[in-house]
Amino acid sequence: MSAKLPPTPTADLLWSDERLLGFGPMDRTHEDFYRLAFDLLTCHDGGAGYAAVARRAIAAFEAHAVAHFGEEERWMQDSGFPAAGCHVDEHAAVLASVREVRAAVDEGRAGADLLRRLAEHLFTWFPAHADYMDSALAAWMCKRTLGGQPVVLRRQRD
């Protein structure tokens, strides 16, 4: 049994104002994405209750992904957002990976290494998805609900 230490958080793994897109409901969901993906990353083999912790972490992430992607897809559908196809396809691909990992964990075929690899994939995937797809949807939703482009207020870095 390997007992790897959880990774030291770096800027890539933590939520920050840099990631705000200016549409509040989406930004709050994205902050949850970071928290729950970090829980996957920091599951580690070795503790007595590891299997239960791993199962809880991947179940929580799957529930988040279903809600997160479903919410964005409803916004696109209800508002007649153009070119939603690629966006929906990316969500479906990520959700399929999450479900594969969940099945492996639930059946005892995988442990912390697979959760860690999934989390690394999620942290790599998210910034480009947010920049190219979610940001366009956020701007569209702000325009529809507030009548203008999003205004993002970020805290000043020291």
The phi-psi region of residue 4 (left if phi > 0; otherwise alpha if psi is between -120 and 50; otherwise beta) is: beta
Select 39 or 134, whichever has its Cβ closest to Fe ion: 134
Minimum distance from CB of 20 to Fe ion (Å)?
Answer: 12
Cβ 133 to Fe ion, closest distance in Å?
A: 5
Give min distance, CB of 25 to Fe ion, in A. 11
Crossing angle of helices 50-79 and 135-146, rounded to 10°: 50
CB of 60 within 8 A of CB of 36? yes
Closer to Fe ion by Cβ: residue 39 or 72 = 72
The span from the CA of 158 to the CA of 67, in Å, is 35
Q: Nearer Cβ to Fe ion, position 7 or 24?
A: 24
Q: Does 134 bind Fe ion (CB under 5 A)?
A: yes
Q: Which of 23, 38, 54, 72 contacts Fe ion by CB under 5 A?
A: 72
* 139, 144, 147, 151: CA torsion to nearest 10: -30
Are 64 and 33 a contacting pair, CB within 8 Å? Answer: yes
d(CA 77, CA 120): 30
Q: Which residue, 54 or 76, is less far from Fe ion as judged by CB?
A: 76
Select the residue whose beta carbon is closest to Fe ion and give its number. Answer: 134
Total interface residues for Fe ion by CB under 5 A: 2
Q: Least separation, in Å, of the C-beta of 98 and Fe ion?
A: 14
The binding site for Fe ion (CB under 5 A) comprises 72, 134
